[in-house]
Structure 1
Amino acid sequence: MDRKKIVKALEEYLGVKSKYLGAPTFAYEVMTDDETYTIDREGKITTADENELGLEEVLNDTQNFEEPTEINEVEVIIPLDGHTGITLRNLVNMMYSKQFLIKKAFDITENIVEEDFSLGINEAKITLLEDFKEALYSLGENGCPGIKFDFQDSTITFKFLKGKWNVEKIETYSNFVAILNQKAKELKRVSPKVKSTDNEKYTFRTWLLRLGMIGDEYKQDRKVLLQNLSGNSAFRKEKPKKPQDSGE
């Protein structure tokens, strides 16, 4: 199939118009809310993550997940192994600093970490697990309603996912909190500062990649996590319009 037919097939299937980019690539770009496809001179299709796809792969990559079922609450329990007081605070700060985007990604309304708890846990002098435990009990465990720290059983329970979810999305939730937990243990310090963004998808995708959600292994997870957010995941700012080139 020649390139023009590939572009036309993508336009019809995705319901969007393509853009001809002109020199130096002479490529076509087909952009949706969830992905940006680039079709080069040879008809090769690549995604924003630079993954090469065949036309059939794109056309068969539908979002027809199984019907969601009503779930009151999903809990993911992770061992406390490898944590210190500092890394547990890192975990709280990672959640709090990106809380707005996390809540929107998972379509939840309740806070995972309350503002007062974030302020208090960062004012406390914390190094050891015991330090974090004392600060937690002093501030009140209800200040961190989305995460339960159980020092008796040495576990962390992530319990902020509620509502109608299917198996694929629950797997994404499990993968997300697991990699977040691991990254908290690797970092020396995490700031609780909340930063505004005018491109939610790009900001969250960049953060997910920094966490380690890279490559095809996490492709479906990134798709699920970004689908409720606004903006464009491929570009920080809207790409400047290029003059149309009538030639190939």
Structure 2
Amino acid sequence: MRINYNITGPKRKSLVAAISQELNAPTHYLGPPTFAYGVGGYHIDKNGVVTGPDNLDFEADLQDRHGFEAIEREYDERDIYESGRSGMLASDIPQPDETDQLTIEMPLSFFTEEGFANLEKLIASKADLIKKALGVDALPIEQTETTLKFPWFRFPAGSDEVAAYSRFIGALCAAAKRQKRVTAHEKTVDNEKYAFRCFLLRLGFIGDEYKQVRKILLRNLTGNSAFKSGNKKGAEVCDEVSE
């Protein structure tokens, strides 16, 4: 991955320190001519460009825990970041069924047995928040010979909503595919918006380009999306999606 934070001087040193903290790894200053730093397999150049193995949680933590927001990013595996589009059938446009439901589909070939099991656990771990965010009572998954159907959404929906819902399903599926271990335990939360925003960040909805998606998916929840306690009291940490 290549993540550009476009920072120099003391701000870059703070970024390096944050990376060292998140990776629990020592910092190595490489000196001239590059004036770069190396931390746990990641390289931070003199302009604050971070390169290394793809790690979406890593970027989310740097933004949410330390306030570093990238101006541009490129992942080696594009479906890791563009997870809202990943695996979607190119010809598929979500359609309403005979009731007022809007169903989104993913190709069954996208999933391994482990990936499907992870998907069920991932959904279970955030079930109450997802249901409230979408305004539904249940989160069924329907399997056909070629697809998985997610009849979770209400119709009519505007184009922005359809795009947000499609990306959300794609992101869930991509996360289930890439994560090695997922627990189905659902935690009780006091601040719904903050908890779900953290979840969305870890799914890849990072930066201004996903601002509208986050707004749509957070609008039915209560609380403050910026601060866990509801107001600013120093650094606050997002809950983990997986263990």
Bin for the TM-score computed over the shorter chain: 0.5 to 0.7
SS of match in other structure, 1:196: coil
In 2, distance between residues paired with 1:166 and 1:94?
Answer: 27
Q: Does 1:148 align with 2:142?
A: yes
In 2, distance between residues paired with 1:51 and 1:83?
Answer: 30
The CA deviation string for residues 184-222 of structure 1, in whole angstroms up to 9 with x for no partner, is 100012111011000000000001001111112211010
1:166 Cα offset (Å): 2.2
Structure 2: stretches of 5+ with no match in the other structure: 1-66, 72-97, 234-243
Given candidates 73, 80, 103, the residue that maps to 1:75 is 103
In 2, distance between residues paired with 1:238 and 1:162?
Answer: 30
SS of match in other structure, 2:170: helix
In 1, distance between residues paired with 2:228 and 2:70?
Answer: 19
SS of match in other structure, 1:189: coil
In 2, distance between residues paired with 1:232 and 1:50?
Answer: 20
Given candidates 128, 147, 151, the residue that maps to 1:100 is 128
In 1, distance between residues paired with 2:134 and 2:202?
Answer: 19
Q: Does 1:195 align with 2:187?
A: yes
The corresponding residue for 1:91 is: 119
Q: Does 1:168 align with 2:160?
A: yes
SS of match in other structure, 1:236: coil
- Asked if structure 2 preserves the Cα contact closer than 8 Å seen for 1:71 and 1:165, the reply is no
- Aligned-residue identity in percent: 41
The CA deviation string for residues 119-164 of structure 1, in whole angstroms up to 9 with x for no partner, is xxxxxxxxxxxxxxxxxxxxxxxxxxx21122x22x1111111254
Between the two proteins, the alignment pairs up a number of residues equal to 142
Q: Does 1:238 align with 2:236?
A: no
1:49 Cα offset (Å): 8.9
In 2, distance between residues paired with 1:71 and 1:51?
Answer: 42
- Asked if structure 1 preserves the Cα contact closer than 8 Å seen for 2:102 and 2:154, the reply is yes
In 1, distance between residues paired with 2:222 and 2:70?
Answer: 23
The corresponding residue for 1:215 is: 207
Larger radius of gyration: 1
Q: Quick one: which amino acid aligns to residue 195 of structure 2?
A: T
Q: Quick one: which amino acid aligns to residue 81 of structure 1?
A: S
Q: How does 1:47-62 map to 2 (within 5 A)?
A: none
Q: Does 1:185 align with 2:185?
A: no
- Asked if structure 1 preserves the Cα contact closer than 8 Å seen for 2:191 and 2:230, the reply is no
Given candidates 211, 216, 223, the residue that maps to 1:224 is 216
1:239 Cα offset (Å): 3.0
SS of match in other structure, 2:100: strand
